[in-house]
Amino acid sequence: MRFKFLITSICFFLLSSCHSSSTLMASGTIEAKVYRNYKTLEPYQCLTFDDGPDKVQTPKVLELLEKYRVKATFFVLGEEIEYQKDILKMIVDAGHDIGNHFYTHINIKKATEKEIKNAIESNNALIEKVTGYQPQFVRPPYGIVTDALKKVCGELNMKIILWNKDSKDWDKTPDSEIIKYVLNKPSNGDILLFHDGSKTYTNTLSALDVIIPTLQKKGFEYVTLSKLFAA
Ligand SMILES: [Zn+2]
């Protein structure tokens, strides 16, 4: 009986840990899971935009998303929100997800748990104050993941989101190259990295103006990260 109970418990733990955003470590600490994509049966693609909100670029991105009636996720910086509260509200009002890209764009390689926690929590508080929205996703600046980050996000019950396709729009990549790369072997649950910060280049928009309708014709649907993880 005891053996059967143990097996049942292990199965339950494995099942529940598959569906939770964190993992209980042997040390007793809870570590957040890191996602580069999320395989689903649904033909979902997730567009993510980092480094905004920006008063020029973000409205242009929102206009493009509206043109194709698609939803996306914006990983915003607290220091940008301070000046662009109306733009943040526009994102939420349009039905997109908001993710946390820290208060400032720091490199967390050497940051302490406390510094990381402050950078995430202060941004969460600001986002909630401005929009009432509570972010569930964190994207660390530069995509750097450390043990301290996993621990902090585990405590905050937030998922760490990276990407499996980097458009490299931040590197002045020509739109023809972005298009070719993103359209090559699209899969269910792809997470694509784009930018809508002040340093973003126009190639982001011209590339997406081709990518979105092309993949829609192939049956793909662009959804928020919340919808992806609920699939
Ligand atoms: Zn960034």
Q: How many angstroms does the Cα of residue 168 sit away from the middle of ligand 1?
A: 12
Tokens of 206: 């011209």
Q: Domain segments of the chain: what residues?
A: 31-230
Q: Are 178 and 171 in contact (CB under 8 A)?
A: no
Q: How many angstroms does the Cα of residue 50 sit away from the middle of ligand 1?
A: 5
Q: How many angstroms does the Cα of residue 7 sit away from the middle of ligand 1?
A: 44
Query: What is the C-alpha radius of gyration for the chain, rounded to an integer number of angstroms?
Result: 18
- Give the catalytic positions in this structure: 50, 195
Residue 100 to residue 71: CA distance in whole angstroms: 17
Q: Are 52 and 87 in contact (CB under 8 A)?
A: yes
**Type and span of the H or E element at 149:** helix 147-155
* Between residues 158 and 7, the one the model is more confident about: 158
CATH topology classification for 31-230: TIM Barrel (3.20.20)
Which band of pLDDT confidence, cut at 50, 70 and 90, is reported for residue 20? low
The arithmetic mean of pLDDT across residues 92-120, rounded, is: 97
Strands 44-50 and 30-32: unpaired
Q: Percent helix, strand and coil across the chain, each rounded to 5?
A: 45, 15, 40
Q: What is the pLDDT of residues 33-57, one digit of tens each?
A: 999 999 999 999 999 999 999 999 9
pLDDT of 17 reads 43
